[in-house]
Amino acid sequence: MMDEDTEQDGPRDGARSANAPRHSRRLSDKILIAFHHACDQADYEVAEQLLRILEMMLTRRPTSPDTNRRRNMESLVAAHERLWHLRHPEASDR
């Protein structure tokens, strides 16, 4: 039985062509997806740890000049805001 993530990444066997990318998403994107999944499951400790890892990845020296640093940082800020609002629901009621 294949789960949703496996289907998105494509086949794991030798059926992949030599020119096809091995992974369809960057590691940072997968960590962000896992963060949102942890938030959806109300596992805020895991979400916080994933956010720390993501922050470390995005704030270290960039490995390739073509990455969109501004967009990545906006996603990081939005993730921090989501976690804060989930942990402080009373602030949204005001």
Q: Tens of pLDDT along 48-90?
A: 999 999 999 988 876 666 668 888 889 999 999 999 999 999 9
- In this predicted structure, the answer to whether residue 41 has a pLDDT above a threshold of 80 is yes
Q: How many CA atoms lie within 13 A of 1 on its CB side?
A: 1
Residues 42, 27: contact at Cβ < 8 Å?
no
2 pLDDT band (50/70/90 cuts)? very low
Considering only residues 38 and 91, tell me which one the structure prediction assigns the higher pLDDT: 38
Range among 5-9, 21-25, 71-75 rated most confident: 71-75
Per-residue pLDDT averaged across 29-48, rounded? 97
Q: Rg (Cα) of the chain, in Å, rounded? A: 16
Please say whether the beta carbons of 50 and 35 come within 8 A: yes
